[in-house]
Amino acid sequence: MPKIEVNDALVRRLAEEVGPLVQEITAWDLHLDSLRCRVLPKDRGYEEIILTRLRGIGLNITDDAPRGLFERLVEYLVEGNTQAAYETSTQELLIVRENVDDGNLDGLRLVIAHELVHRGQQLHQGHLFARVDEVTREAIEAFISGKAMLPTLRRLMETITPVMNLIESHALFVQALIGRTYFPHARLESHHDLASLLMRVFGRRKLRQYTDGLPAVAKAAADGTVESLYENLRSGA
């Protein structure tokens, strides 16, 4: 199968195609006119996705800062596994070219749909993103300064686990629903290499965010009460 020629214009066109479907399911206005779309080469994934996110939450991080073994592992996992991201600080949809170009166009549509749910979450449930940013910044600053040990940092990050579970599970639910309804022949790129193996080993906590909240989201979607899931997190219920 030939590779998809993934470029900014294609991603923009597909976002405009699937955006209305995401809006219909979520009842959120995505304000697509102000959405930026950009395709990244794989070797810029860590800088453009992770480091930009850290700068977006207020950390003074530069692309050329020395990286230790842990940072290099994260870089390898991100660049080998991440297909796309929505960066809230720049309102930008980012696609990693080499991680999606072996799928098909319908598969890319679903990748984009997933990230558009995150855009809707940020625009309409921004308090949750602010909470995640606050806790993440606090944890990283404590780690860098040496003021907190790993168990303390882990407990701190666990306070936002319900938020992350809802954010990712809702996006996956909408993605899967659109796939079943409109793009049943979608094919996503899949890897069977060291990066994907290491992601399954070291990224289990992250991967569970996509599935742990699915039963609650599916039930709420059937009952028409998805918004209550977000409101419950706001109120601490």
187 located within any domain:
yes
Burial class for 14, CB neighbours closer than 10 Å (0-12, 13-18, 19+)? buried
Q: What is the pLDDT of residues 148-190, one digit of tens each?
A: 667 777 788 888 899 999 999 999 999 999 999 999 999 987 7
Domain of residue 44, residue span: 8-235
The answer to whether position 116 is within a domain reads: yes
Specify if 49 maps to a domain.
yes
Task: Determine the Cα–Cα distance for residues 199 and 206; give it in Å rounded to an integer.
Answer: 9
Strand order across the 92-96 sheet: 36-40, 92-96, 84-87
In a domain, 165, yes or no: yes
> Does 126 fall in a domain?
yes
Q: How confident is the model at residue 195, as a pLDDT?
A: 47
The total domain count for the chain is 1
Give the range among 61-70, 71-80, 112-121, 138-147 with minimum mean pLDDT: 138-147
What average pLDDT does this structure show over 208-230? 90
pLDDT at position 202 over 70: no
Q: Work out the mean pLDDT of the chain and round it to a whole number.
A: 88
Q: What is the spatial distance between Cα 36 and Cα 12, in angstroms, rounded to a whole number? A: 8
Q: Looking at the chain, how many residues does it have?
A: 237
The pLDDT assigned to 207 comes to 64
Whose CA is closest to 11, among 94, 123, 120? 94
Q: How confident is the model at residue 143 (pLDDT cuts 50, 70, 90)?
A: confident
CA distance 208 to 46: 21
